Amino acid sequence: MQEHTGPVLSARSAENGVMAAFASMLDTRTGLVFVKATPSDSPLAWTYRHEARVTEAAPVAPPLLWQAEGGGWLLYGYGALVGRHPSFAPGSPDLLPVVKALSTVAELHWPVEISKKPLSDRLAGFIPAGGEGALDGASLSHTDAGEFNLLVTGSGVRLLDWALSCPGPAWADTALWVPRMIAAGHTPEQADYVARQVPAYRDADAERLGIFARTVHAFWTARTREAPLPQRVKLTEAAERWALTTRLRG
């Protein structure tokens, strides 16, 4: 690794939002670099390769500086970003920068050279009867844009951790943000109003959004049943309120 970084002066392990076997901010003589690594024989090693390839196609992602393999490990060096995680609460000054970042992502097509099952396949078991096709799309979708995977920097909001990215509707990331805003204190109507500042979400078909809301509620219900962590409980409740609101509108 030091052939890429030079001598490492200090290291600080990542605290939030990273599931890597090794994730650390390294201070080197040439500056800061964020390194993620995993054993090359890990069943999840493919996600690191996938994330690195997608990151190169996403302008709001940290820049990939180098990648290396040796000693039984895969290592990826990303440009270090300085910032803080945003607040999704009502009135937060972070909401508009998040809107701008999601608007940028929504305009990106999925890189055709990267093979990945679409979001519709991932959530197929949770789509309500008759909703087949509602989640189809070929846009670049992060799919995990929670607070800890977003960073407010001097140049705008950046999206971290692209391991779960896949093809999906252009409005998918914004729609997935709606229950997170509700969990942070918005009413469903307030969250929808903020989300509509993203053109792809504003122009989305209302019936498809309603089907997606019910799908997300079913997904979080299942996740919470498996492991009722406090944040999952909040997201499940928020997704239920959103799904009910879209039903009433329909």
The angle that helices 206-226 and 172-183 make with each other, rounded to 10 degrees, is: 60
134 and 67 in a common domain? no
The length of the chain is 250
Query: Strand 156-159 relative to strand 8-13: parallel, antiparallel, unpaired?
Result: unpaired
What CA–CA distance (Å, rounded) separates 126 from 214?
A: 8
pLDDT tens digit string along 184-234? Answer: 999 999 999 999 999 999 999 999 999 999 999 999 999 999 999 999 999
Q: Which is more confidently placed, 148 or 1?
A: 148
- 126 and 237 in a single domain? The answer is yes
108 in the same domain as 9 = no
Residues 146, 55: one domain? no
Residue in 164, 166, 170, 194 with CA at minimum distance from that of residue 180 = 194
Report the amino acid identity of residue 45. Answer: A
* Structural domains counted in the chain: 2
The predicted pLDDT at position 17 comes to 47
Q: Is the pLDDT of residue 21 over 90?
A: no
CA distance 74 to 37: 5
CA angle 145, 61, 109 (to 5 degrees): 80
Any domain includes 89: no
The domain boundary, picked from 54, 79, 104, lies at 79
Q: Which domain holds residue 240?
A: 95-249
Q: Are residues 65 and 123 in the same domain?
A: no
Spatial separation of the C-alpha atoms in residues 161 and 144, rounded to whole Å:
8
Tell me the pLDDT tens digit for each residue of 41-62: 999 999 999 999 999 999 999 9
- 127 and 227 co-located in one domain: yes
Q: Do residues 248 and 189 make contact, with C-beta atoms less than 8 angstroms apart?
A: no
Q: Given this model, what pLDDT does residue 31 score?
A: 75
pLDDT at 8 over 70: no
Picking from 79, 104, 127, the residue at the C-terminal end of a domain is: 79
Contacts of 81 (CB under 8 A, 6+ apart): 34, 62, 151, 153, 158, 160
Mean predicted confidence (pLDDT) in 14-24: 65
* Domain's final residue, options 20, 45, 79: 79
pLDDT tens per residue across span 123-174: 999 999 999 999 999 999 999 999 999 999 999 999 999 999 999 999 999 9
